[in-house]
Amino acid sequence: MPGLAPRYLPGLTFTLIAGAAVAAGPAAAQITPMQREAARVAPAPGVMPWAAPQQRTRSIPGFAAPTLHSQKAYGPLDDYTSRWTRADARQLVATSNPNVKTGANSLPARVTMPDIPADFPQTNPDVWVWDTWTLIDKRANQFSYNGWEVIFCLTADRHAGYGFDDRHVNARIGYFYRRANVPASRRPADGGWIYGGHLFPEGASAKVAAGEAYTENAQWSGSTRLLKPGSNDVQVFYTDLFFNRTSGGGNITPPDAVITTTLGKIHADFTHVWFTGLDRHVPLLRPDGRYYQSGAQNEYYSFRDPFTFEDPRYPGANFMVFEGNSAGVRGETPCDKGDLGYRDGDPYAENVGTVNSSGAIFQRANIGLAVATDSDMQHWRFLPPLISSNCVNDQTERPQMYIKDGKYYVFTISHRTTFAAGMDGPDGVYGFVGNGIRSDFQPMNWGSGLVLGNPTDLNTAAGTDFSPNPDQNPRTFQSYSHYVQKGGLVESFIDTVNGQRGGSLAPTVKITFKGASSAIDLSYGRNGLGGYGDIPANKIDVDWAGLIADPDWVGLSRTDWIGAFLQSDWAPFVDAALQGLRSGQVPLPSSAQNARIAGFIGSLPSDQQKAIWSYVGSH
């Protein structure tokens, strides 16, 4: 597997000890930050990098206090960026137990994800799945469509001849669906998701780079907006990624990451879900080098994962959060006192010069913000980042804005191996809370930011998911790419459980949170683990026009149509429609639509009419 061999650099030998790159020999004292970072680089795009050499903060008799954050709100357009500081991130080790048995979990129980069984089911036998999201409106409500729950996943072919860790350059956005309103007890162990195939027509995403030299085109994460509940119009935002690499995997030119959008329609009948359109892809944003690091500044830059939403305080304005890196040339842009964030006089504070010379300057993740300049969301402009983590971490992936009880939560995910030198923390979900879309965000839970981490021994070297450290907790990389849903449910995918590689949806868990504190709900599911891929809708979209007009229905004869209706599992759709009508979520059909539905039912044989009206009447 790539990256398992010892690393050799001029004058310096790197060997892999317990999954971490460690300098050896007399030249170790002369190691430069650039050499250290060269040894850390991931063996392939999208793959977990090697961990930074950790300075063992447990040898220090105490820990610095976290940075003071006010949660004060600023205007969305203001030139203010909150910071996840080294003082904040130090709380990850400060709250870890230094006395656990090697390989046990050292994290606080309330932020630790329960163990996933090693005999987990496959979501699908033909494709690996990882980053997953739902059909949402502008307030992040998750919708079913005409009785079907729908999710979108990064997928890769299990049978194409490449390995699990090569899936990233082959990623395609696929979709899955299952009946809504079915209790978990009636679903199969794998969650019951039916694979619908690739979301986009073949070759559509590649058109964004027409005339550009590239060797691979991949589709990476994003979000999917139901533009108007009661209709079937959808808009997909995603990361269109173009690699230009040698046969050995090196970059000829830096990757070209483009936040891109496309419009289409969702359709459903009583047996399946499908999409039309989604064939015209519009590039929206490329990193500018001013706020967000570009390929010219760093060939390993991050720029991806658009999540769009509307802030209720600014009706009609559409915003986007995404993963970025702070602008500046890689390895040449120092951190400052604010990035460290220590309080004046703290006896455990680090020195700015020492941090910069440690190599921590290579880690410059941020959470970006953009605003649409038109109502169709076809044009966007950058705003200053919401949160930076300079000299703390290099990846703040899949950010999302979660608004609850007047508080604004930014959730993101990160790896243990992307923390900067001198920092440490588990794979998992990190959260920040403020009083507005742009705030002096306070990291949750002891000021650390950790909301949900895999069971991890922070006293033992990390290893990686593809090269585990046998002394590390066997579930330290059990799940990743978490997405926080309405009601505090959290879905993710299985990466590595006790050496078993995943590529399937993980059990859903639930967190409760208020203010800057959160905890996993162990009463949910079985000992805190819900169903695999349990991703329920919390809102209902019944599209009456689509119900009448979808072509797969119209093409059937009356006998075949009603046969499909009566013989399929159509009751959940009727339940969803009735529930939506009662709650006011679903508008009544128009008089013309109502007449067409009633006329159609009235033309059926009397026994079929009775079957339909009997069910509706009893519910």
Catalytic positions:
131, 397
How far is CA 398 from each of CA 56, 74, 305, 329, 434, rounded to the nearest angstrom?
29, 23, 5, 24, 19
Task: Say how many CA atoms lie within 13 Å of 388 toward its Cβ.
Answer: 25
Alpha carbons 90 and 349: distance in angstroms, whole number? 10
Contact 117, 474 (CB under 8 A): no
Indicate if the alpha-carbon torsion angle 331, 337, 341, 345 is positive or negative. positive
CB atoms within 10 A of CB 118: 13
Amino acid identity for residue 291 in this structure:
Y
Q: Output DSSP code: residue 468.
A: B
> Where does residue 481 rank: exposed (0-12), middle (13-18), buried (19+ CB within 10 A)?
buried
Contact 96, 106 (CB under 8 A): yes
- Which residues fall within 8 angstroms of residue 367, CB to CB, at 6 or more apart? 321, 322, 323, 324, 385, 386, 387, 396, 399, 410, 412
Alpha carbons 197 and 79: distance in angstroms, whole number? 43
Closest Cα to residue 41, out of 380, 285, 462, 362?
A: 362
The torsion angles phi and psi of 362, rounded to 5 degrees, stand at: -75, -20
Alpha carbons 537 and 94: distance in angstroms, whole number? 38
Q: What is the β-pairing status of strands 489-497 and 509-514? A: antiparallel
Query: H or E segment at 131?
Result: strand 127-136
Task: Say how many CA atoms lie within 13 Å of 30 toward its Cβ.
Answer: 8
The two most distant CA atoms of the chain are separated, in Å, by 91
Contact 456, 427 (CB under 8 A): yes
DSSP 395-439: --EEEEEEEETTEEEEEEEE-GGGBPTT----SEEEEEEESSSEE
| Cα 477 → chain centroid | 15
Q: Give me the residues paired with residue 496 across strands.
A: 501
- Copy the structure tokens of residue 167: 């899936």
Q: What is the β-pairing status of strands 143-145 and 539-541? A: parallel
- Copy the structure tokens of residue 177: 């669906």
Alpha carbons 111 and 104: distance in angstroms, whole number? 15
